[in-house]
A and B are shown apart, each in its own frame.
Chain A
């Protein structure tokens, strides 16, 4: 069945296309959406885009782009064509994500409050942990109820040329982007309401209550049965401030800065107009090194002096736990499949992307010879910063990266380029394939829960593989379809 209308001339281009088979026919779960879109005219779409822009502006959804002088507030570009994940596929992903985050929590607990069995048993070398910037010795001995050290995890998934989902990287410190998941859905229901009619899309708007519930579950033993939760932000000048405020609003809890909190006798309180009010759980969105100037950077004025001692005394829970960076170190990433096997005695459900460890002389030689075919990433960065994409890099960039790798082999990893799957995306007045990834959000309180879907990021520039918002990426609403059995019991979103 040929494609028409907006799909006129649509070419999967030899990549795995999410919506269209290599023969050019819509995949089953995209059938209804494709038919709807074919019926839209460019004029229609332009109008829908105006509705979208108005929706985002009125919701005040912006992120700050820093250029010269003052930051500029921009709206985050959401493409009008949603991404659809069928029920069966999602079940597989959900299972894999729960498995991975469960193992990572066990790993972190082992390192910080356990007897480091994973090192003693030779699964992960001591030196790898010792040399990780994210390993926080100051977190030694601080436990978290239920071992929920990654209270919120954002696991970046990609699909390769065969359509296999693979984990690209783990974000276990302060993964951001969930506000776009919720806002994209809210905007989408206004922009293309009728498209929802043909689908049974699983809702995402329970994220706020679910997050609050998870945070309450990790409140210290002996805390008030109605524990006080706060969101700790670096302040209005942080580029993710919108999300911090958004989450506080979604949960109905106070959004505080470091200066609003005070530690007295190892108990944390917030300063209110009516005196000090005790705080039980801090959902912090500031980095480890700024959290407590007594034990970390003494020049930090964003943090709370004594908050680490309060956590150690069991008077407050800090989420995500301090020191999670060791587990999302991109060099440790290469060991995650073994970590899963070690703690859970099971094969990883979601495979990694093939990764080369550059301190190994053989692997390094191999990588340095093929720099133009590989992706090289610094181990401790996130957001795509400092990354080299071999096939599109200049000779000078490659030479510079070679020098950096030689100087600090522990500081980088190399990966095979994944031919990321593509998705129909609106370009001017028609649809073209653009590369995408997926960041689902996993919540751990007393149990592990995955929010259906997640943030689909799309590289809006033609041919680009970089989806990060700071690097010209956009996003898509992501629909997980309810399984047919659920059709009778669930209402529409």
Chain B
């Protein structure tokens, strides 16, 4: 397939997942802080910006770290390319660029989400009904995922869409754990199980967790579940394994592994053979950072392997009159 289309689909998947995960994290942070002290709140919002790697651009705006300013920045600030509104806009542009490869239903789902989001009064929503807003974003993204799964043929286009989707989700689940973890450390309540439960809820994982771990109240089980579950579709391992499977199908019949496959395989096995109890005794933050780095390298190698040929068209005329300035 065309390298440009593959790249568009990859980013369409990433952008949708990014919008959904950002909404999830905003939701957790917001509701986790309802009863907190103001200074706790500031720290938590700052941590959220940090795990999203948006702390610096936000600091440059000099707006003060408050629920309202950070939420607005992450939901609809036009200067923030990672804001939910921007992500959905990018998902739409990328879907449009690969319009021929995606189903009409998928295009319509993405397009109408984009239009509906734009037509809302987001400032008022963030202020008055954040939970409803984040719920709307999550539901829309899940609906898009469902439509994609129901209507897209399982060809290379689908694989690039899912590859972007899964890598972004793996990253975002790591970040979700990270932000939760840092909040718990801040609050000095590493063992506060209801906080972890919130985390599970924000990943839509509390029910699945209950079925798997019954009455467990052990934070290590939560971390294990979100990192290592083989069955829960938002676990990091599940995402990496799906991405790995997709990469393998892209290269069916090839006798050796590609660089993205090798990098992804390594990252996945680092995770897979991990003991979550040991992890909690060590520094979870450091480990999550390693995972994030690993995923980022995979994404970069995918770009090199498959999109390298998709170049932006920057054609310049050789100054046609340069050489004749000195004409005889």
Contacts and interface: CB of A to CB of B under 8 A. Distances in A.
A and B touch in the complex (CB under 8 A): yes
Interface of A: 58, 60, 236, 245, 248-249, 254-260, 262, 270-276, 293, 298-301, 305
A248 B315 contact: no
B104 to A, nearest CB: 5
A298 B317 contact: yes
Contacts of B96: 236
Nearest to A249: B100
A236 B315 CA distance: 20
B3 A273 contact: yes
Contacts of A274: 306
Interface string B1-39: 111101000000000000000000000000000000000
B312 interface: yes
A273 B98 CA distance: 14
A293 B320 CA distance: 12
B250 interface: yes
B313 interface: yes
A258 B317 CA distance: 16
Given A60-B104, A236-B96, A245-B99, A273 B6 contact: yes
A271 B3 contact: yes
B317 A248 contact: no
A272 B309 contact: yes
Contacts, number: 58
13 contacts: A236-B99, A245-B99, A256-B2, A259-B310, A259-B313, A260-B2, A271-B2, A271-B4, A271-B309, A273-B156, A273-B250, A301-B313, A301-B315
Given A245-B99, A248-B100, A298-B320, A273 B1 contact: yes
A293 B314 CA distance: 12
Interface centre among B4, B104, B156, B314 (most CB of A within 10 A): B4
Contact of B315 (A272, A273, A276, A293): A293
A275 B309 contact: yes
Nearest to A262: B309
A271 B104 contact: no
Contacts of B160: 273
Contacts of B315: 293, 300-301, 305
A272 B2 contact: yes
Contacts of B320: 298
Nearest to B302: A273
A75 to B, nearest CB: 14
A272 B1 contact: yes
A325 to B, nearest CB: 23
A274 B100 CA distance: 19
Interface in B276-295: none
Nearest to A269: B309
A276 B4 CA distance: 12
Interface in B180-207: none
Contacts of A258: 313
A271 B1 CA distance: 8
Contacts of B104: 58, 60
B311 interface: yes
B311 A259 contact: yes
A470 to B, nearest CB: 23
Given A271-B310, A276-B309, A299-B317, A259 B100 contact: no
A255 B8 CA distance: 14
A257 B4 contact: yes
A82 B152 CA distance: 36
A276 B3 CA distance: 10
Contact of A260 (B4, B156, B250): B4
Contact of B3 (A236, A272, A299): A272
Contacts of B314: 301
Contacts of A245: 99-100
B220 interface: no
B97 interface: yes
B2 A254 contact: yes
Contacts of A260: 2-4, 310
A452 B151 CA distance: 34
A20 to B, nearest CB: 40
Interface string B296-320: 0000000000110111111101001
Nearest to A59: B104
A245 B320 CA distance: 36
A271 B311 contact: yes
Name the residue among B100, B307, B310 with the largest chain A CB count within 10 angstroms: B100
A488 B48 CA distance: 75
B79 to A, nearest CB: 21
Nearest to A301: B313
Interface string B99-140: 110001000000000000000000000000000000000000
Nearest to A236: B96
A298 B99 CA distance: 29
A273 B310 CA distance: 9
A43 to B, nearest CB: 31
A257 to B, nearest CB: 7
Give 6 nearest A-B pairs by CB, closest first: A271-B309, A298-B317, A259-B313, A273-B306, A271-B3, A273-B6
Among A245, A256, A260, A300, residue most surrounded by chain B Cβ atoms (within 10 Å):
A260
Contacts of A60: 104
Given A58-B104, A245-B100, 14 more contacts: A245-B99, A255-B100, A257-B4, A258-B313, A260-B4, A260-B310, A262-B309, A271-B309, A273-B2, A273-B156, A273-B306, A298-B320, A301-B313, A305-B315
Nearest to B2: A260
Contacts of B100: 245, 248-249, 255
B200 to A, nearest CB: 37
A236 B97 contact: yes
B3 to A, nearest CB: 5
Contacts of A236: 96-97, 99
A259 B312 contact: yes
Contacts of B1: 272-273
Contacts of A255: 100
Contact of A293 (B156, B311, B312, B317): B317
Q: Which of B96, B306, B307, B309 has the most CB of A within 10 A?
A: B309
A292 to B, nearest CB: 10
B98 to A, nearest CB: 10
Contacts of B6: 273
Nearest to A245: B100
A259 B317 contact: no
Contacts of B306: 273-274
A270 B2 contact: yes
Contacts of A254: 2
B303 to A, nearest CB: 11
Contacts of A301: 313-315
Nearest to A257: B4
Nearest to A256: B2
A136 B4 CA distance: 31
A273 B8 CA distance: 12
A130 to B, nearest CB: 23
Nearest to B312: A259
